Amino acid sequence: MRALVLDFGGVISKTLFETHSLSEAALGLPSGTLTWRGPFDPDGDDAWRAMQAGEMTERDYWALRMRETGALIGEAWTEFPEFVGRLRGAEPEAVIRPEALDAITRAKASGCKLAILSNELDLFYGKDFRSRLPFLADFDLIVDATYTGILKPDPRAFRFVTDGLAIEAKDCVFVDDQAKNLNGAVAVGMPYVHFDVTRPGESYALALDMLAQGN
């Protein structure tokens, strides 16, 4: 048995950095208003660099962007689903990576198990988000730290996956766009791909090749 283990935000879903034009349109903001670009322009995003350096958490980073963006339209959001819902509108499927859907289909067709290991799936997107994405029914397991309270890179988060799928860590390929989260995979002996949000097709091709070749 083999398993493809995916982070959600950034790996399955396009990042908010990539969809500024959609966000500006949804909020009624002039084009070019949102300038934070994270990994697409780290030199121009001080908070992103601070987060990558471990000076703030990922949740702190997005809390900052939530406050800043809400202030632009005179709204004070207190929950991440409010923030994401306002930016992404009523069609979350429009921001799902086509490369992700292709990889999920191919992995499943080859007999691989599928799992999501997320730090904040429901916290960030809201509890009703999953029901609006039919492809999630293809997953054998979803581990969400919104409920477990165990955040990547804690090795215990990865053991939820191996225990839940009854599979060895060495028989999985974990894909995440945050380098620090890969430390947990290393700790449990799980092969991994550091997902490049600027080259999603290449990252998924590597993950599928690792699955096919037995890492």
Give the pLDDT confidence of 163-207 residue by residue, as tens digits: 999 999 999 999 999 999 999 999 999 999 999 999 999 999 999
Q: How far apart are alpha carbons 15 and 13 in whole angstroms?
A: 6
DSSP secondary structure code for residue 55 in this structure: S
For residues 55-65, give the mean pLDDT.
Answer: 93
Tokens 């009703």 sit on residue: 128
Q: How far apart are alpha carbons 169 and 147 in whole angstroms?
A: 22
Please tell me the predicted confidence (pLDDT) of residue 90. Answer: 61
Please tell me the predicted confidence (pLDDT) of residue 128. Answer: 81
Please tell me the predicted confidence (pLDDT) of residue 127. Answer: 80
Q: Cα-Cα-Cα-Cα dihedral of 136, 128, 72, 13, to 10°?
A: 0
Please tell me the predicted confidence (pLDDT) of residue 190. Answer: 98
For residues 51-76, give the mean pLDDT.
Answer: 94
Contacts by 210-214, CB closer than 8 A, 24 or more apart: 210/173, 211/2, 211/4, 211/107, 211/110, 211/112, 211/173, 212/110, 214/2
Homologous superfamily of the 3-14+94-213 domain (CATH): HAD superfamily/HAD-like (3.40.50.1000)
Three-state secondary structure call for residue 191: coil
Is the pTM higher than 0.95? The answer reads no
Q: What is the percent of the chain where pLDDT is above 70?
A: 98
Please tell me the predicted confidence (pLDDT) of residue 156. Answer: 98
For residues 69-81, give the mean pLDDT.
Answer: 94
Confidence band for 92, pLDDT divided at 50, 70 and 90: confident
CB 4 within 8 A of CB 210: no
Does the pLDDT of residue 112 top 80, yes or no? yes
Please tell me the predicted confidence (pLDDT) of residue 85. Answer: 85
For residues 85-110, give the mean pLDDT.
Answer: 89
Does the pLDDT of residue 60 top 80, yes or no? yes
**Within its chain, how far is the Cα of 47 from the centroid?**
19
Tokens (6 digits) for 56: 């703030």
Please tell me the predicted confidence (pLDDT) of residue 89. Answer: 66
For residues 11-15, give the mean pLDDT.
Answer: 95
